[in-house]
A and B are shown apart, each in its own frame.
Chain A
Amino acid sequence: MRKKIWRFTVVLVLVLMVLTFTPLVVPERVHHPYFMGVPYTMWMGFLETLLLLGLTYLATRVHPGRDD
C-alpha cells in the first residue's frame, strides 16, 4: 500500500510540474479571477507551492527507503 501511495505521489508531482506550464497556472496576460484580492497566477502559484509542500511531506512518510 505504501509503495502505491509513493508512486501516486510521484505521479501527482509530475502532473503538477506539467500543469505549471499550461494556461491553468500561467495564462498569458490574464490576471482574473482574483481570490481575496490576489491575481490569478499569484494565488494559483501559491496554492501550488502549498500543494507541493503537502505532497513532499506525504512523500517522506511513504518513501520506500524510509525504513533503511
Chain B
Amino acid sequence: MLKLLLIIGTLYVLALVYLTYMARDKDRSSANYLMAGSNVGSFLGLFTFAATLFSTFTILGMPDFFRVHGVGAWIFIAVSDLFMVFGIILVGYHVRKKIKESGTNYYGMAGFMSHCYGARLAGYVVFLGAFLFLIPYVAIQIKGVVLFLDQAFPDQFPMWLWASLMLIVMVVYSELGGLKAIMYSDVLQGILLLLVIWIIGIVCLNRLGGIGEMFAQVQLVDEKLLSVPGPKGLFDLQFLIGSMVGIVMIPFTQPQVSTRLVIMRNHHALYRTAVALGFFAILVILPTLFIGMYGAVHYETDSTADFLGKTLITDQLPLIGVLVLLGLIAAAMSTADSQIFGLGAEIRSLLGGEDQQALRTTRGAIFLFAVICLLFSLFSPDELVLLARLSFTGTALMAPMIFLGIFTRNAAKHRWMPWITLVAILAFILSSFGLLPTKFGLIRTDLLLLFTLGFLALAVGFVERKT
C-alpha cells in the first residue's frame, strides 16, 4: 500500500506543482500575492472557503466525536456551521463596506483594527490572538495526519519526516504562488475531501444496513448516543452555546477566513459562495455521522487511533485506503497552508514602508510560522476536536472588539476595548492551563468572558447609536 500511496501521492504533488505554475503572476505586489487581486468568483470562493474550513478535524475528529458522544455532534458542528454561513451574509457585507469606505489597503484584520481604533495595540491584540490560537490548531492537524500515517505504515518513516514533508510542500507552493496557488489547490483538495468522505460514508452506511438500521444498532450498543448530552455528558448547553459562538465568529476572527470574505469579487459572489458553503457543510458532515455510528457499533471500546485506522483503512479496499490517506493529507494541508499564510498576511497588515520590502518580511514570517507549527506538532497533545474548539473559542474572544471597530463610527473613542480583550485572552489561556478556574459559579469561564466582552461592545454600540 505504501507503494500505491507514493505513486498517487506523487501525482497529487505534480498536480499541486501545475496549479502553482498556473497561479504564478508577474505582479508580485502584496495586493496580488496576499489577496489574489481581490477578484475571486463564487466557484473558487466556495472551494477555498470549504477546504479552509473543513480540515483533518472533519475527517478524523468528527467521526470520532459521533462515535464517542453521539448525535449531539450534529448540533455542535453542522447547526453551528449553518449559523456561521448566515453570519457571513449578515455581517460580511458591513465588513466589506467598512473596508471599502476606509480607503485603506486591507491585508489582514490586525492592520485594519489598528486603523479603526487608531491604535497599534488593537492590531497587536488581533495578531496575538490569531497566533496563539491558530498555531496549536495547525499543529494538531499535522500531528493528526502524521499519527495516522505512522499507524498505517509503522516503522517506515519517522513521524518528524512525514510532518516535514507535508510542511515543505505547503510552504513551497504558498511561497511561490501566493494566495492564488493556495486557492487553486483548495479546489483540488476540497473535491478530494468530499469524494473520500462520501466513499467511506456510503461503505459504512451499507454495512450497517441503511439509516434506520444504523440507529437501531446504535441504540443496542448505548442509547445515550442518540440524545444529548451523550454518554460522557459533553454536549451540555454551555458547551453547545460556547461552541456555536466560537464557530459563528470564525469568518471575522480567523485570518484565513476573513481574508476570503474580503477578496470576493463583489457582494453577489460572496452571497452565492455563502449559500453553496452551507450546502457543502451539510454534505461533508453527513457522512461523518455514518462513519461515527459505524464505529459506535463495531469499535465501541477501541481507542480513537484504532477505530480510525480500522474504519478508514483496514476495512477498505487498498485503493480507497490510499485515497483516504491522500484525502487526509489534502485536508490538513488545505487548512494549515491557509492558516499559516493568513498569519503572514496579518504581519503584512501591521507593516508599513516599501511594499516589496514588507512582502519579503512577510514571506520570511510565513516560513517561520511553518517551522513553529512543525515543532509544535511534534510535541502537542492528541486531542484534535477539543484543541480545535479551543481555537474557535480563543479567537472568538476578539469578535466583540472587531465588531465594535467595524460597526461604530469612531472606534478610536473606545481604545480601552483592545486592552480588555487582551486581558480576556490571557484569562482564557490561564483557565485553559488550570491556573484560573474553568468555571465561575455555574458558568464556564470561556462563556463568561465571551458574554462580558459581547455585552460591553453591544452597550457601547447602543449608547453611540442613541447619541
Question: Which residues in A have some Cβ–Cβ distance to B below 8 Å?
Answer: 10, 13, 17, 20-21, 25-31, 34, 36-42, 45-46, 48-50, 52-53, 55-57, 59-60, 63, 65-66, 68
A-B contact pairs, 26 of them (CB 8 A): A10-B90, A13-B86, A20-B79, A21-B240, A26-B75, A27-B228, A28-B228, A29-B228, A36-B211, A36-B212, A37-B210, A37-B215, A39-B71, A41-B72, A41-B74, A41-B227, A42-B74, A42-B226, A42-B289, A46-B74, A49-B74, A53-B82, A53-B275, A53-B278, A56-B278, A63-B89
Q: B79–A38 contact, CB under 8 A?
A: no
Q: B299 at the A/B interface (Cβ < 8 Å)?
A: no
Choose, from B147-155, B266-274, B388-396, B411-419, the stretch at the interface: B266-274
Closest to B273 in A: A60
Chain B residues with CB under 8 A of A55:
86
CB <8 Å contact, A25 and B275: no
Set A13, A20, A31: member contacting B226, Cβ < 8 A? A31
A21 to B72, CA, bound (A): 11
Contact with A along B194-220 (1 / 0, CB 8 A): 000000000000000011111110010
| A45 in complex: contacting residue of B79, B86, B244, CB < 8 Å | B79
What residues of A have a CB within 8 angstroms of the CB of B213 in the complex? Answer: 37
> Which of chain A's residues have a CB closer than 8 A to the CB of B241?
21
Which of chain A's residues have a CB closer than 8 A to the CB of B226? 31, 39, 41-42
Q: How far is the CB of A21 from chain B (nearest CB, A)?
A: 5
On whether A49 and B267 interact (CB within 8 A), knowing A36-B211, A56-B275, the answer reads no
In the bound complex, how far is the Cα of B90 from the Cα of A7, in angstroms?
11
The reply to whether B267 and A65 form a contact with Cβ atoms under 8 Å apart is yes
Whole-angstrom distance between the alpha carbons of A46 and B90 in the complex? 22
Beta-carbon contact of A45 and B75 below 8 Å: yes
Q: Which 9 A-B pairs have the closest CB atoms?
A: A37-B212, A60-B271, A52-B82, A31-B226, A39-B226, A42-B71, A45-B74, A31-B227, A65-B93
A25/B83 contact (C-beta < 8 A), A53-B278, A57-B275 known: no
Bound state CA distance, A42 and B219, in angstroms? 13
**A residues in contact with B327, CB < 8 Å:** none
Task: List B contacts of A17 (CB < 8 A).
Answer: 83, 244
Bound form: Cα–Cα A31–B75 in Å? 14
Please give the distance in Å from A25's CB to the nearest CB on chain B. Answer: 7
Task: State in angstroms the CA–CA spacing of A66 and B93 once bound together.
Answer: 9
The reply to whether A20 and B75 form a contact with Cβ atoms under 8 Å apart is: yes
Partner of A52 from the list B85, B223, B271 (CB cut-off 8 Å) is: B85
Q: Chain B: residues with CB nearer than 8 A to chain A?
A: 71-72, 74-75, 78-79, 82-83, 85-86, 89-90, 93, 97, 210-216, 219, 223-224, 226-229, 235, 237, 240-241, 244, 267-268, 271-272, 274-275, 278-279, 281-282, 289
Compute how far the CA of A50 lies from the CA of B279 in the bound complex, rounded to whole angstroms.
9
Residue of B nearest to A51 (CB): B82
Q: Is B267 a contact partner of A37 (Cβ separation < 8 A)?
A: no
Contact between B272 and A60, CB atoms less than 8 A apart: yes
19 additional contacts (CB under 8 A) given A49-B74, A59-B90: A17-B244, A20-B79, A26-B75, A28-B228, A29-B227, A37-B214, A38-B211, A39-B219, A48-B82, A49-B79, A49-B82, A49-B282, A52-B83, A52-B86, A53-B82, A53-B278, A59-B89, A65-B97, A66-B271
Contact A45 B78 (CB under 8 A): yes
> Could you tell me the distance between the alpha carbons of A68 and B94 in the complex, rounded to whole angstroms?
12
B212 lies within 8 A of A38 (CB): yes
Tell me, in angstroms, the Cα distance from A49 to B75 when the chains sit together: 9
Asked whether B227 lies within 8 Å of A52 as measured between CB atoms, the reply is no
Chain B residue numbers with a CB within 8 Å of A56 are 82, 85-86, 89, 274-275, 278
Write the nearest CB–CB distance from A12 to chain B, whole angstroms: 10
Give the complex CA separation of A31 and B79 in angstroms.
18
Q: Provide the residues of chain A in CB contact with B271, threshold 8 Å.
A: 60, 63, 66
Residues of A within 8 A of B74 (CB): 41-42, 45-46, 49
- Please give the distance in Å from A41's CB to the nearest CB on chain B: 5
Bound complex: CA of A46 vs CA of B210, how far in Å? 17
A63 to B274 CA separation, bound complex (whole angstroms): 13
The answer to whether A59 and B86 touch (CB under 8 A), given A37-B213, A39-B226, A49-B282, is yes
Give the residue of B82, B97, B228, B275 whose beta carbon is less than 8 angstroms from that of A26: B228
- The residue on B at minimum CB distance from A42 is B71
A contact residues around B216 at 8 Å (CB): 37
Determine the residue in chain B with the shortest Cβ distance to A46: B74
A48 CA / B86 CA spacing, docked (Å): 13
Q: How far is the CB of B229 from chain A (nearest CB, A)?
A: 7
Chain A residue contacts of B227, Cβ below 8 A? 27-31, 39-41
Residues of B within 8 A of A53 (CB): 82, 85, 275, 278-279, 282
Whole-angstrom distance from the CB of A24 to the nearest CB of chain B? 12
Using CB atoms, name the residue of chain A closest to B71: A42
Closest-by-CB residue of A relative to B278 is A53
